[in-house]
Amino acid sequence: MHRQRINEMRNRKSCCRADSSKRENKMKSLKKLAGMIGIVILLCGIMTGCSGKRLYSEEELTQIHDVVGAVEQITKEFQYVIGGSIQSLLEDSSSRADLMDYVSTRKYDPDKKIIALTFDDGPSTDETNGTSDLLDLLEQYDSKATFFCLGNRLNDESAPLLKRMVELGCEIGNHSYDHAQLTKLDAKGVRDEIDTTNELIKKYSGRDCRIIRPPYGAADNDIVPANVSQPFIMWDMDTLDWKTKNAASVISLVEKYKEQDWDGAVILMHDIHPTTIEACKTIIPELVNDGYQLVTVSELAYLKGVKLEPGKSYWGIDEKSTETDY
């Protein structure tokens, strides 16, 4: 009888191991299936369960679409893929298990106006702590922005700033390596400026760069768009913060333009100037209090139904967006 019980216990353990093996095989099959689907996938919370992170329900994850940084809006729930497509993430086995690290779930109110603040020439790592203070301000008001960074400012010192941008749901764009006027370069020069900066953004932020702002807005020849595989993001309004370097002047100009219909506007500023950061301490809370939602460029494009295409320049991103194909 004792031997019979031992055999029964062994059989149960064997069955448990078999069931466990089946579950593991099933999980592997599901992951492979997700990788094959690529552009449109349905994810379950179990993908993050093994890492001890919170489980995401099927309703929260819904369908994720590969549309230049943004994903499907379901009612007022907005999910945003930061700096990378679902397909590219799935192809990277190191990130596949933690796919939800790349997705932040946000609330979006379709009845409110949206606007994209963009900051060029950073990040600032000097004693003024400009970029860091700006990120504090954005976090305080639950707002996002897009940072067009220079490659020669991306290093071990600035890496924490890039990682924090990602954590806050901000977007990182390419502003060339050393602020070169791309239209004055040959094909190799253009590629070096852009490709080097793309690689540095990936290295220090962990995210692919999907958009570019050419210095001086100069992309209007045949060479530049032919050698860049990303859309060129320009602006609706230049605050002239780079010229005046005066917080009151920047605030006054923004107040003047705000009297117009700013829904869908892209605003140009620079996070390397302390006066700009000082101005933002007034501008950001006022925009929020006036009912604006501050989003990234890719979010703005998606929500306005504008598909950003490589090699094309966008002077503003809304229903009246000016799209230039060189």
Which pLDDT tens digit goes with each residue over 161-215? Answer: 999 999 999 999 999 999 999 999 999 999 999 999 999 999 999 988 999 999 9
Q: Is 11 exposed, middle or buried (0-12, 13-18, 19+ CB in 10 A)?
A: exposed
Whole-angstrom distance, CA of residue 315 vs CA of residue 322: 5
Predicted structure pTM score: 0.73
Which pLDDT tens digit goes with each residue over 45-71? Answer: 223 333 333 333 444 444 343 333 344
Residue for token pair 């219909």: 261
What is the biggest distance separating any 2 CA atoms in the chain, rounded to whole angstroms?
A: 93
- Selection from 72, 37, 294 nearest residue 81 by Cα: 72
**Local confidence band at 74 (pLDDT 50, 70, 90 cut-offs):** very low
Q: What letter would DSSP give residue 83?
A: S
Residue from 120, 208, 271, 318 carrying the catalytic annotation = 120
Q: Is 325 a catalytic residue?
A: no
Is the per-residue pLDDT at 156 higher than 90? Answer: yes
Q: 113-325 belongs to which CATH class?
A: alpha beta
Structure tokens at 193: 């400026």
Given this model, what pLDDT does residue 315 score?
A: 92
Q: Is 120 a catalytic residue?
A: yes
Domains of the chain, by residue range, sit at 2-107, 113-325
Residue from 121, 241, 270, 273 carrying the catalytic annotation = 270
Q: Is 156 exposed, middle or buried (0-12, 13-18, 19+ CB in 10 A)?
A: exposed
Given this model, what pLDDT does residue 261 score?
A: 80
- Top-confidence residue, 205 or 84: 205
Given this model, what pLDDT does residue 111 score?
A: 83
Structure tokens at 15: 């069955």
- Top-confidence residue, 259 or 151: 151
Is the per-residue pLDDT at 140 higher than 70? Answer: yes
